[in-house]
Structure 1
Amino acid sequence: MAIQQKQVTVKGTEYLLSSFPTGRGMIVLKQLGQIAGPAVAAVETGGVSALISAVIQNLETIDVENLSKQIVSGATTKSGMPLQFDVEFSGEYDRLFMLMKEVVEFNYSSVLSMVSGVTALEAPAAD
């Protein structure tokens, strides 16, 4: 199957997402698993506060800046211009995280649904 694309709008900015080539997708999936695996286990036993704690602890083992860049690397602006990571999200980390969520769902929704029945990334229920 060829590289797939999807258009999304995040906080009024349109982006064109391209699916990861398989190699990059596996690298990113491994890093996401290193963060998310312990976090999912923590939320099952300790709720949202345990989730946040587990994520923060596991961020020390991952190069978060590089992972963030890898995740959004397949996104371009609607006009086809590559993202300038350090400029595009300066002071707008919420937009970065929202775009990262869109990219992860786009690339891994089939894996997420296969593994846990999740069809989209959703915030855990409040404690």
Structure 2
Amino acid sequence: MTVELVSVERRLWSGNARFVIARTTVGEVGILPGHQPMLAQLEEAGTVRIDGTDGAKNTIAVHGGFLSVSAERVSILAEFAEHAGEIDVERARRALDRADDSDDGKAAKARAEARLRAAEAR
């Protein structure tokens, strides 16, 4: 199936994949070729894993956006996204340590946790 993951700033991944896992607001979804068409909102701070047909596993931290699935195509439109290899782990840990219990602090904590999950997956 053809998969494309883009953020507001850039295209992060495009190509053929055999499997996609994404966290949506209603739970985690696994997508194989021929999947039932669907449209879902991505979790505010989650990860997407794309298993390419070349065997490479690509993990990307994604913050907000949408997932659109048809029988042979997956489009992921994120507000912000980072490849696992681009994540500054120390910076994410500091952000996690600084997060407080305010709404903004909870959102920052969720984003830092998503970045760390993505970085650990690489």
**TM score, norm. by length of structure 1:** 0.26
Please, what TM-score do these two structures have when normalized by structure 2?
Answer: 0.27
Between Structure 1 and Structure 2, the one with more helix by share is 1
- Structure with max Cα Rg: 1
